[in-house]
């Protein structure tokens, strides 16, 4: 690439004013790129603040429609649902995941009835349902793969039949995308999409999320035998390739900002719909800096989201979704 030298070429000319900066912008952030993760809980008239995530709440089902309505009115296309399962409904096998009237299924039916065009994304993993806090079944201290895949695929079917549009397996068990796709198809759910957490790392940035779900204190050991090593990049491409071969319609990288290089490699290599999760730890870091007066709230939020677009994301799961949508609409 040939570039003329200074003073004939002055790159600052295209930065001279707002109109020109907008004309030459290489990437754009749209409301269509935003997905809002929300936490639902049991009870009535419940709005429970998540201490580690300022501004984020767990809401009960009787309030969830009004909780989500602003996102719908702003044009956010999708909501990701995460249930807070009481200890009384957890066990070592995660059997509540298969209950057709569990919190996730009731939330899906409630929101689909209120907002038929809103895409609902359902998290498929066992950690919200197990007494040990792991994403799969345990035997003799080992996380079982194939036995976990069997219950995960049934969990996915349960959610899809309740109205979940996009199944999002976040467990990182080998072969679960193929098993889920096969079971969905066998039950006439060929149009139910799969957004695979294809490259999910064993990250320290999930702490506030586990606090929000009440699973942090339950977790025995760590998740390093199934979630990815943060040191690895090529392995992420192998994981994505397998999930796409097994029937994933979209793939996700998680966490987000510390893994922008992975997002970029995935998008460039596969040219497939690519998403990222700006996880709880990322949200909490920005909010802590904002609340201490160290960062400008609006500018830091929007810059962080643009980073995902620049890296190649089609969409971003972010707790800032509603706030970002209002900013984009000039509200």
**DSSP character string of 117-128:** TSEEEEEE-STT
Q: How far apart are CA 11 and CA 327, in angstroms?
A: 29
Torsion sign across C-alpha atoms 213, 219, 222, 225: negative
Q: How far apart are CA 143 and CA 56, in angstroms?
A: 31
pLDDT band at 217 (very low <50, low <70, confident <90, very high): low
Catalytic residue among 100, 254, 271, 299: 254
pLDDT computed for residue 1 by the predictor: 66
Query: Do 41 and 59 contact (CB within 8 A), yes or no?
Result: yes
CA-closest candidate to residue 251, choices 326, 200, 307: 200
pLDDT tops 70 at residue 111: yes
pLDDT computed for residue 174 by the predictor: 96
Catalytic residue among 200, 223, 271, 299: 200
Q: How far apart are CA 80 and CA 78, in angstroms?
A: 7
Please confirm, yes or no, whether 200 is among the known catalytic residues: yes
Q: How far apart are CA 123 and CA 156, in angstroms?
A: 9
CA-closest candidate to residue 39, choices 119, 93, 107, 127: 107
Mean pLDDT of the chain: 95
pLDDT tens per residue across span 135-194: 999 999 899 999 999 999 999 999 999 999 999 999 999 999 999 999 999 999 999 999
pLDDT computed for residue 325 by the predictor: 98
Q: Quick one: what percent of the chain has pLDDT higher than 70?
A: 98
Q: Which domains does the chain have, with CATH numbers?
A: 28-328 (3.20.20.70)
Query: Do 43 and 323 contact (CB within 8 A), yes or no?
Result: no
pLDDT tens per residue across span 314-323: 999 999 999 9
For the segment 290-318, the average pLDDT, to the nearest whole number, is 98
Q: Quick one: what percent of the chain has pLDDT higher than 90?
A: 89
pLDDT computed for residue 215 by the predictor: 63
- At residue 36, the 3 state secondary structure works out as strand
pLDDT band at 209 (very low <50, low <70, confident <90, very high): confident
pLDDT band at 260 (very low <50, low <70, confident <90, very high): very high
pLDDT computed for residue 208 by the predictor: 83
For the segment 11-37, the average pLDDT, to the nearest whole number, is 95
pLDDT tops 70 at residue 2: no
Cβ-based neighbours of 46, under 8 Å, separated by 6 or more: 58, 59, 60, 63
303 φ/ψ angles, rounded to the nearest 5 degrees: -65, -40
pLDDT band at 220 (very low <50, low <70, confident <90, very high): confident
Helical axes 103-114 vs 146-162, angle rounded to 10°: 30
Q: How far apart are CA 161 and CA 309, in angstroms?
A: 33
Query: Do 300 and 289 contact (CB within 8 A), yes or no?
Result: yes
pLDDT band at 133 (very low <50, low <70, confident <90, very high): confident
Q: Which residue has the higher pLDDT, 98 or 5?
A: 98
For the segment 220-249, the average pLDDT, to the nearest whole number, is 95
Structure tokens at 14: 């295209």
Query: Do 275 and 250 contact (CB within 8 A), yes or no?
Result: yes
Residue with tokens 């995530």: 53
């Amino acid at each position: 690439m040939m570039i003329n030298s200074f003073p004939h070429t002055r790159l600052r000319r295209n930065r001279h004013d707002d109109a020109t900066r907008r004309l030459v912008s290489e990437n754009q952030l749209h409301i269509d790129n935003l997905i809002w993760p929300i936490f639902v809980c049991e009870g009535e008239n419940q709005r429970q603040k998540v201490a580690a995530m300022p501004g984020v709440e767990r809401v009960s089902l009787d309030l969830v429609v009004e909780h989500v309505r602003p996102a719908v009115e702003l044009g956010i296309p999708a909501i990701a649902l995460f249930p807070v399962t009481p200890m009384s409904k957890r066990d070592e096998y995660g059997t509540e995941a298969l209950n057709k009237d569990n919190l996730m299924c009731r939330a899906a039916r409630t929101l689909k009835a209120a907002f038929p065009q809103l895409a609902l994304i359902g998290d498929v993993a066992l950690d919200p349902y197990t007494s040990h806090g792991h994403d799969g079944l345990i035997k003799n201290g080992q996380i079982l793969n194939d036995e976990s895949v069997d219950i995960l695929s049934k969990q996915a079917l349960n959610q899809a039949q309740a109205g979940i549009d996009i199944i999002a397996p976040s467990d990182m068990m080998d072969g679960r995308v193929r098993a889920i796709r096969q079971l969905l198809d066998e039950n006439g759910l060929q149009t139910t999409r799969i957004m695979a957490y294809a490259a999910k790392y064993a990250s320290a940035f999930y702490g506030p999320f586990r606090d929000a779900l009440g699973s942090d204190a339950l977790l025995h050991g760590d998740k390093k035998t199934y979630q990815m090593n943060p040191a690895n990049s090529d392995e992420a491409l192998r994981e994505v390739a397998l999930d796409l071969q097994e029937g994933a319609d979209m793939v996700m990288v998680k966490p987000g900002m510390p893994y922008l290089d992975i997002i970029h490699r995935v998008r460039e290599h596969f040219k497939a719909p690519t998403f990222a999760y700006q996880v709880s730890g990322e949200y909490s870091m920005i909010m802590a800096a904002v609340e201490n007066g160290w960062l400008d709230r609006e500018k830091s939020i929007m810059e962080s989201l643009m980073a995902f677009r620049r890296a190649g994301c089609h969409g971003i799961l972010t707790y800032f979704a509603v706030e970002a949508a209002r900013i984009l609409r000039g509200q």
